[in-house]
Amino acid sequence: MSTFISQPRFTCALSAQNTVLAIPKAVPIVHAGPGCSIMMSSFASAGHIGEGYVGGNQVPSTNTDESNVVFGGEKKLRDEISASLKVMKGDLFVALSGCTAGIIGDDVAGVASEFADEGYPVVGVDTPGFKGNSFRGHEIVVEGIIEQFVGNVKPQVEQGLVNVFAVVPTQNPFWRGDVAQIKDLLEKIGLKVNILFGYTSKGVDEWKNIPNAQFNLLISPWVGKKTVELLEKKYQTPYLHIPFLPMGAKATSQFLRDVGAYAGLDQEKVEAVIAEEEKEYYQYFVGLVDFFSALQNNLPYELFVSADSNYALGLTKFLEEEVGYIPKGIYIVDDPDSPSEKQIRRIYEEAFPDYPEELLIEPDSELIIEDLEPKLAKTKRALVLGSDWERIPTKKSDNLFLHVSAPISQRLIINKTYVGYKGGLSLIEDIYNNLFEAGEITGTTFQAKLND
């Protein structure tokens, strides 16, 4: 792993303002220099929240300057929180510090607690850039809300209630569709779901209900592990760890069985849901047989994936198990700490024992491209799933490309998801539609077969 990161896939911890914005009627208050907030908002590109309820240019910011560096910025933050409470209509206000506040030592949590003591729903967290990247910032905000807002309460455990911790809002461009699909799947087998983020969340009511869950569900290789461990210690809530997002029939059916068993749900009901979902899925899937048969000599089969660990592992598992792709390069871009990296490697080794050499954990896009380009130069049968950074070398090599990870500047994503049964089918559609749009199949091979 390099010490200097070129073309990163994430920003600093302050991008966790997007985590706040992903909670319905939650308002971030940024205690940082001019431009910091808007940079965190615009970087996400596809999948970003935009103006939304209180996003974009509406995000309150102290816009700290030189005088705040010299004399401290706590008064300015105090004034900004006070003004935001008067002007903004929100159920939760989260003050986040940037690098300037972090360097001079402004006590963001302390200032926020002054308002919380008066009964206002205000939380303060330290998210300067040197605290980590987008993934760590997300965890800091989630843990801060739990500690300062949800607080020390006695759980009233409700059987069948589950808190879900999975994707990082906006860092994952498909986050809206993903959380909605996860909630839908879990509700079908009989669970009540605190999804916490997105348009299907009930917002603050769900966060206040966190201590009452029967269990917590972590769907991620490592992001969120500290959160569920905190909840286990704080409220004695056990957790089930699913190592990556389920995509397609095999992984999704196993996911539902594992969750159902852990929750103690009626096995027959869970199997009935799976049977119904699989019946529909495979009816659609069988319809692809003629397509694959007609073009089998021209379809790509070598797979390269560049994405965060949750998506990279989920995509690879589905395409390898159900569609027949051969993993040739799996690039994970999270930049995890050492224990988390070891955990990712363990998960990968268990999921892909036949491809031990294909994994590269590397946040530097230039180094990924250095590894990817010579491999693409040797083939015309590759599928590359990645970001804007992988698109150019893939197109130059005349191989197939599909956007699946940030940054994405050439694709609109609203509620698209590749999670679950429907997500797997959607991924297949997108992959092979790109094949036709490339022109080679439609203009030559497929048309020639029609003329025979």
Q: Which bin fits 35, alpha (ψ -120 to 50), beta or left (φ > 0)?
A: left
Summarize pLDDT for 250-268 with one digit per residue, the tens.
999 999 999 999 999 999 9
Q: Which pLDDT score is estimated for 55?
A: 73
Distance CA 169, CA 175 (A): 5
Distance CA 172, CA 47 (A): 7
Q: Which pLDDT score is estimated for 120?
A: 97
By C-alpha distance, which of 226, 234, 151, 228 is closest to 194? 228
Backbone torsions φ then ψ of 218, nearest 5 degrees: -105, 120
For residue 133, what are the β-bridge partners? 12
Q: Which pair of structure tokens corresponds to residue 346?
A: 């363990």
The residue behind tokens 């010299």 is 70
Summarize pLDDT for 325-368 with one digit per residue, the tens.
999 999 999 999 999 999 999 999 999 999 999 999 999 999 99
Average pLDDT over residues 167-179: 94
Which three-class secondary structure state does DSSP give residue 398? coil
What is the DSSP-derived secondary structure letter of residue 149? Answer: I
Model confidence at 452, pLDDT cuts 50, 70, 90, reads very low
Distance CA 362, CA 433 (A): 30
Q: Record the pTM.
A: 0.93
Backbone torsions φ then ψ of 161, nearest 5 degrees: -95, 130
Which residue ranges form the domains of the chain, and what is each CATH number? 13-150 (3.40.50.1980), 158-276 (3.40.50.1980), 284-451 (3.40.50.1980)
Given a cut of 60, whether residue 134 has pLDDT beyond it is yes
Distance CA 28, CA 298 (A): 50
Given a cut of 70, whether residue 151 has pLDDT beyond it is yes
Given a cut of 60, whether residue 2 has pLDDT beyond it is no
Model confidence at 41, pLDDT cuts 50, 70, 90, reads low
Given a cut of 50, whether residue 54 has pLDDT beyond it is yes
What is the residue type of 224?
Answer: G
More confident position, 95 or 6: 95
| C-alpha distances in Å from residue 365, one per residue of 9, 62, 369, 404 | 8, 33, 6, 15
More confident position, 37 or 215: 215
Indicate the helix (H) or strand (E) that contains 443: none
By C-alpha distance, which of 245, 256, 279, 277 is closest to 189? 256
Given a cut of 60, whether residue 60 has pLDDT beyond it is yes
Contact 436, 442 (CB under 8 A): yes
Distance CA 221, CA 242 (A): 8
Q: Which bin fits 56, alpha (ψ -120 to 50), beta or left (φ > 0)?
A: left
Q: Which pLDDT score is estimated for 47?
A: 66
- Lowest-confidence range among 66-70, 185-189, 377-381? 66-70
Whether omega before 339 lies within 30 degrees of 0, making that bond cis, reads no
Q: Which pair of structure tokens corresponds to residue 227?
A: 């959160």
